[in-house]
Structure 1
């Protein structure tokens, strides 16, 4: 694809660096214009991410001797470019809170219980059709102190790598019908309602496995006018 065919995102479809209701952006948003740094051979050529060096971990529920607590779900989708062409071989890292709304991380001080059978992290690679799939537990909501009675909606974090480390995009997947979405400043950091909706997964009965897990589909578009909103 040439630069002439690149279609940038429409205004309002990507979050700004600073979003007043999202308090932590006040400290980390740049106060001056960004400076473009030319890419060198290092940024353009490596490291390469491949299953041989980064073994996939596609079932988050199979990391312990006992099953983790919570509702098992299947998440699947595609990664495509702005023209709908599949992006193959992309490493997708995933991390999330457990069913009680707590991350398996020392920085999480929420008094919800940790689940020794659930690490809340993994990785998958897209196949030749740009498709990915993993099994996990539906994460719980949790308080985050941004404002009075602030709770984050249930969500899963996605990190997508291109052919080199500098080519990394991060986004979040939400669940349909979550009442906390209307109150969440991070979700509403994307001004455009149609773009925000692209962050919400779709329940998929075809993906659901009888007696095992409900299925949710989350398709990711890397750039262009229908691009999935990404964290700045």
Structure 2
């Protein structure tokens, strides 16, 4: 019986990854990152493409943003979970009636994706507006959960043509996961943009290669 208990204890111990500090979270503190676990679909069943609530072509031009997620060694990263959320066209995080959990804070314009075998992801949405009365550029928040690591945030998606994205604000970007600046191209019925994500880039306490 004693041997069985010891075995159970050892089984439950957390094994730290090479080059990581088991006392620190990868990416540092991240309020709200746990919202990634509120996905209504099991992580292993998530598609690589998601259309966020409210998307319409009636009198509007939605955004279609895609990219590839790469591992630190430069190869495509499959099975990475991506959680995004943003304001509506008035600059507010509006939650639907009866919202629970982080949806009450993040609003209902949010979604989850899982990169495919080639590291590809894509989402469609309406362009968010900046916070009313603030100087922050319009943005899309993004949280990453890769296999074997805790969830962490990377630089928000921001838009190259946003007048609020000044030269000073560009210099201050941390480039967590690589640059989040997206150049939008008008393709007629919508705008398209691309952002590749580089796991570990400028991420505190990211495990070094063994």
TM class, shorter-chain normalised? 0.5 to 0.7
Alpha-carbon distance in 1 for matches of 2:192, 2:177: 21
TM-score (norm 1): 0.56
Q: Deviations over 1:53-93 (max 9, x none)?
A: x5777111468xx7788541101011112332111011111
Corresponding residue number in structure 2 for 1:219:
196
Alpha-carbon distance in 2 for matches of 1:55, 1:127: 8
Alpha-carbon distance in 1 for matches of 2:116, 2:59: 30
Q: Bigger CA drift: 213-222 or 156-165?
A: 156-165
Alpha-carbon distance in 2 for matches of 1:88, 1:196: 16
Corresponding residue number in structure 1 for 2:156:
172
Corresponding residue number in structure 2 for 1:129:
118
1:190 matched to 2:167? The reply is no
Q: Deviations over 1:186-211 (max 9, x none)?
A: x65437xx889812013356xx4xx4
Q: What secondary structure, in the 3-state scheme, does the structure 2 residue paired with 1:152 have?
A: coil
CA RMSD, Structure 1 to Structure 2 (Å):
3.9
1:38: Cα distance to partner? 7.5
Q: What secondary structure, in the 3-state scheme, does the structure 2 residue paired with 1:181 have?
A: coil
Cα distance change of structure 1 residues 214 and 220 upon mapping to structure 2, 3 Å threshold: same
Determine which of 129, 133, 146 is the counterpart of 1:140.
Answer: 129
Cα distance change of structure 1 residues 150 and 183 upon mapping to structure 2, 3 Å threshold: farther
Q: Deviations over 1:104-156 (max 9, x none)?
A: 249xxxxxxxxxxx93101111111111001100001113xxxxx63221111
Determine which of 181, 186, 195 is the counterpart of 1:200.
Answer: 181
Unaligned segments of structure 2, at least 5 residues? 1-16, 26-36, 97-106, 205-210
What is the aligned length?
Answer: 163
Corresponding residue number in structure 2 for 1:59:
51
Unaligned segments of structure 1, at least 5 residues? 7-34, 40-46, 107-117, 144-148
Q: Provide runs of 4+ in structure 1 moved above 2 Å.
A: 49-52, 54-57, 66-71, 167-171, 187-191, 194-197, 202-205, 227-230
Alpha-carbon distance in 2 for matches of 1:104, 1:96: 9
Q: What secondary structure, in the 3-state scheme, does the structure 1 residue paired with 2:166 have?
A: helix
Cα distance change of structure 1 residues 179 and 169 upon mapping to structure 2, 3 Å threshold: same
Corresponding residue number in structure 2 for 1:151:
135
Q: What secondary structure, in the 3-state scheme, does the structure 1 residue paired with 2:77 have?
A: coil
After TM superposition, list the pairs within 5 Å mapping 1:17-166 onto structure 2.
37=23, 50-52=43-45, 58-61=50-53, 71-105=61-95, 119-143=108-132, 150-164=134-148, 166=150
Alpha-carbon distance in 1 for matches of 2:120, 2:114: 8
TM-score (norm 2): 0.61
